[in-house]
Structure 1
């Protein structure tokens, strides 16, 4: 259809204006990028300048600590809470009942919001239903879910009954899940029909085959698992609406209890069959591999509750805060630093997605004017990348507080976090699952150089000492490297069903003091600030996740063509550390592709084997073929030499 000259002129005018607007938008984006780069540079320069100023600052201006030969005692601190978790939660509900407690999002599903009053009532209903299923004080209830409102409510339901919450990684395969359930003799399992996948929003893994491997007959009238004899109940959260491509015929599984039916329980306050005590074990956390040598740390009401409250106190959380927490609830970062810290103060915890998604994390920050953000270094790097790629139209404007934990934070990354996300009050937390978990932490008021180069000072009511490696009876002088140990309310009760390991790693001294030894190398300065300088143990920290080499080594031993395997961590710019496997092939086997396929082992096979038998984060990024290992006179493999060899090889290949 032909246009009149007036219509043509109007179209030309509109097109011209549109083109001009696009040019202006492009210019604005370019200027924003330049301003961001300038802000990062300024923050970096400020950090370095303030570090020089700190060196000239009298120590009297720093926190009041008594420090003597590697021991640090907080001079003043808020008193420890003496209640159980449900008792304290009840007091929070009475003060902040109408305030939002939990906000959670799932792909293709409505956002869920629970006030503290809602959370109290829903957890009462769940507790009532669990009690009707036979759950009692001390029973172990395993939860294998992502970060959801259902998980948040279940947590308090289990606590109110005095049962023991066992958080499990939902990405576990059948071997890992079975090992964990058997080790703890779990009686009740709560699991999603689908496991959400990190970095893959809307995509998931059907748990039908996993449940078949664990339970056996899915069509039976009751749970009778040969693999997990103690298991009596399997409760399934139907999250298939978020994953319409998953075909799991859940309706045919008669022995399973739908999560939705638990919500039909009584909303009245539940009375446990036996009174609760702050010293009761309420949570068991796995700290490393679950297929070879599981370590299950037993934590009490008092340790978890107080650790969360003291973290909140040091970082300055208050009821007006809205904290976005992508770290998983199956890890202490999500459950204690996140959920327990927010719940002790009446602030809101925001779960942007069941599994980590950087774009969803940014959107949650923007949509809710979030005041805080948590993450391990790799999460924050991914969030920054999403921000740079325009994942949100509006940048987060209200962020100020936050926690980074799981691995050290480079100065350059800290500068980017300050400049681009505005997390000016970001703090670093250090600890281990066995200490509930945080033993040291920076504070927003710490000198900038200390905030970026140390893990802060000991937490309140916590004693830290640095001892000589191999001689725990000798405390090293200040500014001297040694093994870090912690004592206080926060130390675990022990490892489940493992008295020998408990005695070895959590010894009780003659005066009755219980110490938890970290295996980390550290040093303490005159003002009580602690700096981690390495690891005495062989633990690998990949993107904030602890990886024990033994689990991967034991897996590789079972691969045809492998004579021996030794696994170490090597430096990784993005993840902090990545997994490297040194493999000795069996005699007569070739590592050259293209030869006899029945007697050939390849790097792809090594990685695929670990991926199939274990979890994806345990797959070696680097595989090296060797004929022998460097060893000590007693025959122990010298892993530090293997680490040096890997570093040199990688430096050559990247040159």
Structure 2
């Protein structure tokens, strides 16, 4: 493998790709398989740690090439789809890189899917090989071309050369979006899609490959599933910058996360707000040494400004390094980034666009709010097996999100255009209500939907997850409303409530299943209105 340190450019220029003009870096990496050649640069550093298992950077390349040889024996070659179905592990990581080394297209199957969703995905994509963790083997449709999952005991033999291609526009990955209106959609990302987004993040954080000489190594705790775009970006980033990734075992547990941070001196963590909130609660009960943690990134759900302040107060080693951003699978991940200073000075903002990302707004209102449109080299090639696409004739990706840019160019996302609640002539963005709710002490999570009302058209309904102590309050509804009055207009305060201590129902992408909640709450509202007549 090559020991030459690649140079990744800091400046962008317009290039034509597939009839669209995109902002692109030059020089840049073209292929994900080529990045594996840089793993040996970090020989001696752990790449993956999970329990007693450890995979070093220096061993990743050989392990992936041995696995690639095994896949080739199963008939896998360039352009073939290889399904990966498993929980986070070193095997998952090696199988991904082995597929890329052959020029194959990994299909990241959601391990939480139902049997019917599995069947639909396999029927749609007809993978040439299925790599499945034995714990999930029962979910694979009968007759699928199953190949071995483990990577530690692959027989030694000739190592295949990297696929002979420098085409960055070839499909590199298929992963799935939420299925709130049907089956999940299969998003096809190119090598360009994934590398472009990563390049932008490394550029603004000064972590380009040629800038790393003498830089301290980082250790990241990864608590999300690898089969989502954030997981893929974390893995690729880890190889490029020589990062150690620590995987928990089993479902998220705040006490386990704390123990891992302390044991492995974790420096970086990206998580959804509820994970962080629960860790802070656990730390207050049984404190451990979390002083190694230097940066924290929140994403995946709305975070109230009070959570940012709580992190600064209770995790002094993090201080102002609490970042966030905005993105979606169809855009190849992140489109904007907000630094710790941004989240401190502009609570609630999503940050500035990455250097290669253009932002516009569809059908803007008088105050500039409209549907967020993105155009970037990182965006998807399309949905597999579908002619329809949210990318228009000018290359703009229609996100379905509502937002605006402030006078300094920062993006603010206010909700989903299809989720707006129309109550008595007033438009209410559920996201703004949810942000206010998760700022209430004792509230862990919340979902807000509109339900039909005979006079108002719709009314605001909320399902609120509270901790055990808060659930015992006899005045729970009044307590929450009293706090919301300082943050929301009276018409935006929910008039229908459901409180619970169990987690909210989620779709395969971990987004809250609002369709299911809306159906339940609508039935509850109809019964209440009928009883009142």
TM norm. shorter chain > 0.5: yes
Residues 1:266 and 2:157 aligned together? yes
Residues 1:137 and 2:34 aligned together? no
CA distance in 2, matches of 1:276, 1:89: 14
Equivalent of residue 492 in structure 1, options 373, 380, 390: 380
CA distance in 2, matches of 1:433, 1:132: 32
Cα deviation code 1:183-203 (max 9, x no counterpart): 2222322222225xxxxxxxx
Partner of 1:42: none
Pairs within 5 Å for 1:304-319:
304-315=194-205
Partner of 2:297: 403
Residues 1:98 and 2:10 aligned together? no
Residues 1:114 and 2:52 aligned together? no
Distance 1:624 1:442, change over 3 A: closer
**More deviation in 349-358 or 320-329?**
349-358
Distance 1:365 1:80, change over 3 A: farther
Distance 1:455 1:581, change over 3 A: closer
Pairs within 5 Å for 1:82-481:
82-90=29-37, 92-105=38-51, 111-194=52-135, 207-208=137-138, 210-211=139-140, 214-215=141-142, 224=143, 231=144, 233-235=145-147, 257=148, 259=150, 263-266=154-157, 268-272=159-163, 275-289=165-179, 292-315=182-205, 320-336=217-233, 338-390=234-286, 394-421=288-315, 422-423=317-318, 424-446=320-342, 448-450=344-346, 452-468=347-363, 480-481=368-369
Alpha-carbon shift at residue 325 of structure 1 (Å): 1.1
RMSD: 3.7
Cα deviation code 1:299-343 (max 9, x no counterpart): 01122122123223434556511111111101112221x222222
Indicate if the aligned counterparts of 1:314 and 1:443 stay in contact, CA closer than 8 A: no
Indicate if the aligned counterparts of 2:177 and 2:186 stay in contact, CA closer than 8 A: yes
Number of residue equivalences: 434
**Structure 2 gaps, min length 5:** 1-22, 208-214, 422-429, 454-497
Distance 1:446 1:616, change over 3 A: closer
SS in 2 for 1:259: coil
Distance 1:234 1:528, change over 3 A: same
Indicate if the aligned counterparts of 2:108 and 2:174 stay in contact, CA closer than 8 A: yes
TM-score (norm 1): 0.60
Indicate if the aligned counterparts of 1:121 and 1:267 stay in contact, CA closer than 8 A: no
CA distance in 1, matches of 2:410, 2:332: 20
CA distance in 1, matches of 2:508, 2:272: 26
Residues 1:528 and 2:425 aligned together? no
Indicate if the aligned counterparts of 1:326 and 1:353 stay in contact, CA closer than 8 A: no
CA distance in 2, matches of 1:167, 1:189: 10
Alpha-carbon shift at residue 356 of structure 1 (Å): 2.4
Partner of 1:578: 447
Distance 1:147 1:498, change over 3 A: same
Alpha-carbon shift at residue 372 of structure 1 (Å): 0.7
Alpha-carbon shift at residue 385 of structure 1 (Å): 2.1
SS in 1 for 2:246: strand
CA distance in 2, matches of 1:293, 1:455: 29
Larger radius of gyration: 1
Distance 1:261 1:415, change over 3 A: closer
Cα deviation code 1:212-234 (max 9, x no counterpart): xx21xxxxxxxx3xxxxxx3x22
Distance 1:265 1:169, change over 3 A: farther
Partner of 1:507: 392
Alpha-carbon shift at residue 618 of structure 1 (Å): 4.2
Cα deviation code 1:152-186 (max 9, x no counterpart): 11111111111111112212121111111112222
CA distance in 1, matches of 2:510, 2:228: 16
